[in-house]
Structure 1
């Protein structure tokens, strides 16, 4: 598929795909005319890259991790990176959970102390 089609299917911009390519995370085949061509598995790969970014991983870390996704194997250094990133994500999830719990408390307190004039009809 061409770059525009991949962008549409993956829900990202063409610019993002070009960035992933520039960083070496996404490697398209090239037609004789120089046009990018991506395989069907590229959609899943872009989604994975997006998940890793959303989890706070850097492009450098993602680039190191991606070969492990494909092969299921990792060097000791990459395995250390994987474990460190997982521990960081666990800490972040714990902090987010605590923040959500605090918001629940604020919502409950605000809801119980609010009289009828707080909610419009």
Structure 2
């Protein structure tokens, strides 16, 4: 099938499908006219890629574990897969902790700002001296 048909069947833009091919997540054959020709199985592969991206995995990890997938998100045991998944989970946990810190600081900034009038602290509001 041509890239336009693959795009219609998967809901993924042609540009993104070309990116997936450049990063070796999918592959195609070239027709005599140079057009990309995708196998019908590529539809399911694109769906797997999308599911793994939604799980927060980067394309380099997806490329490593994609051969181990057998449906949308389940994996067969393959060397290094669990290590890669655990490493990615650690990265996501750290990002979540960083975001929570940023949220807390933003809430404090909003609260402090709400307690000021025209840049002057409201009566009874403690302020800190810049260091």
- Same-fold call, TM cutoff 0.5: yes
The question of 1:82 aligning with 2:85 is answered: yes
CA drift at 1:51: 3.1
Q: Corresponding residue for 1:119? A: none
Rounded Cα–Cα distance in structure 2 between residues aligned with 1:20 and 1:48: 14
Closer/same/farther in 2, CA of residues 113 and 17 from structure 1, 3 Å limit: same
Gaps of 5+ in 2: 119-131
**SS of residue paired to 1:4:** helix
Contact kept? 1:2, 1:36, Cα under 8 Å:
yes
TM-score normalised over the length of structure 1: 0.64
Q: Which structure is higher in RCO with an 8 Å CA cutoff and minimum separation 6?
A: 1
Indicate the structure with greater helix content.
1
Q: How many residues align?
A: 110
Q: Corresponding residue for 1:118? A: none
TM-score normalised over the length of structure 2: 0.61
| CA RMSD, Structure 1 to Structure 2 (Å) | 3.2
Gaps of 5+ in 1: 116-121
Larger Cα-atom Rg: 2
